[in-house]
Structure 1
Amino acid sequence: MPHLRAEDLREILGRDLPGAVQDPSPLQIVPPPSHGPQPGSFVTGDTLVEPGRIVEVALYLRDSLGYTYLSDIAVVDYLADGVFELGYRFYHVDGGPALVLKARLPRESPELPSLTPDWPGANFHEREAFDLYGITFVGHPFLRRIYMWDEFEGFPMRKDFPKQGDKYIGEEE
């Protein structure tokens, strides 16, 4: 089973794809949770990739390193830092732990190249990120809402999305 650590991946990408990997800066957790890292900022050990080169790096993982399965794409909204962080989780067919590529986008104009033309399994994950966070995937063949109706305004998973509609569970009137 392959076991490639994030540090090893950063070294390999630095050698084979110069300029594709970024140095991560700490992100704020506001407000800090009662559990987890304190006092509200952290850096992960995953590989942060230049957003414009995400397709190139993902294809390198697939074609050169054998990480052929894209499991999911997750989005985290760091409102205090003004960025979205996308995490792409890849697995090797022979097993082993996942490799995670991350890309950070500004909240005011979140867009990056789509993996869907080269990686059809990214289709619904990218549509979900578009629908719930407003992230545009340039080159996606059918970037439409997947959960919300077409007339819905806004992006409900953004941290600054206003609560509206019915009373939420556990809220007092």
Structure 2
Amino acid sequence: MTFSEITDLLAAQFGPDFQVNTQNIQPYFTVPVEQLVDVCQFLRDDERLFFDLLACITAIDNGPQVNTMEVIYNLTSIPYEHNLMLKIVVPRNDTNKALPSVPSIAHIWRTADWHEREAFDLVGIHFDNHPDLRRILLPTDWVGHPLRVDYEEEEQYHGIKTK
């Protein structure tokens, strides 16, 4: 199925709220955060699409100047051999406030469990209703999220110099 055919199916199901970008090598949709779960459920369950694999979730901090963060989802339909990229954009928080929040899709694709934990750990995005949202790569008492643009590494960690 082509990207434009998928676009037509999503527009028919959810309306024209998607931003479509076909300028990149891999075209993608920007989905409103409040529609993420419904869109993902549709992409997996609709027999014309059957995106049965969530290959990757990537989180990006666009920095304080842009004041947004992005979460990018790469989906694959193994039997139909087509791929799709979805993106959501959320407001960035200040380092002293609550983390940006995105709904979890771990109940749709089990692989999202670990991908969301990694995005939480390294970039500092909270995934609502995640079954076990805790650090996956860094120690539980680590301060901050090292892939954030404004991250400042502590001088020491448990008496060990880090710089």
> Into which bin does the TM-score normalised by the smaller protein fall?
0.7 to 0.9
CA distance in 1, matches of 2:115, 2:103: 13
Give the match for residue 36 of structure 1.
none
CA distance in 1, matches of 2:38, 2:135: 26
1:17 aligns with 2:6: no
SS in 1 for 2:45: helix
Give the match for residue 134 of structure 2.
144
Can you list the C-alpha shifts for 1:48-105, whole angstroms capped at 9, x where unaligned?
0011211111111111111111101011221131111111011112253420011111
Give the match for residue 31 of structure 1.
none
Give yes or no for contact 2:20–2:28 (8 Å, CA) kept in 1: no
CA distance in 1, matches of 2:6, 2:12: 10
Please report the TM-score for the alignment, with normalisation by the length of structure 2. Answer: 0.80
Give identity over the alignment, percent. Answer: 32
Letter matched to residue 16 of structure 1:
Q
1:4: how far off?
A: 2.4
Determine which of 42, 62, 73 is the counterpart of 2:57. 73
CA distance in 1, matches of 2:146, 2:38: 30
After superposition, where does 1:82-121 map in structure 2 within 5 Å? 82-108=67-93, 109-121=99-111
Determine which of 20, 28, 32 is the counterpart of 1:50. 32
1:132 aligns with 2:122: yes
1:130: how far off?
A: 0.6
1:164: how far off?
A: 5.0
Structure whose residues are more often strand by fraction: 2
Letter matched to residue 30 of structure 2:
L
Letter matched to residue 4 of structure 1:
T
CA distance in 2, matches of 1:126, 1:137: 7
Give yes or no for contact 2:53–2:76 (8 Å, CA) kept in 1: yes
Letter matched to residue 105 of structure 2:
L
CA distance in 2, matches of 1:110, 1:120: 22
Describe the shift of the 1:97–1:118 C-alpha distance in structure 2 as closer, same or farther (beyond 3 A).
closer
CA distance in 1, matches of 2:40, 2:9: 13
CA distance in 2, matches of 1:8, 1:102: 18
Please report the TM-score for the alignment, with normalisation by the length of structure 1. Answer: 0.76
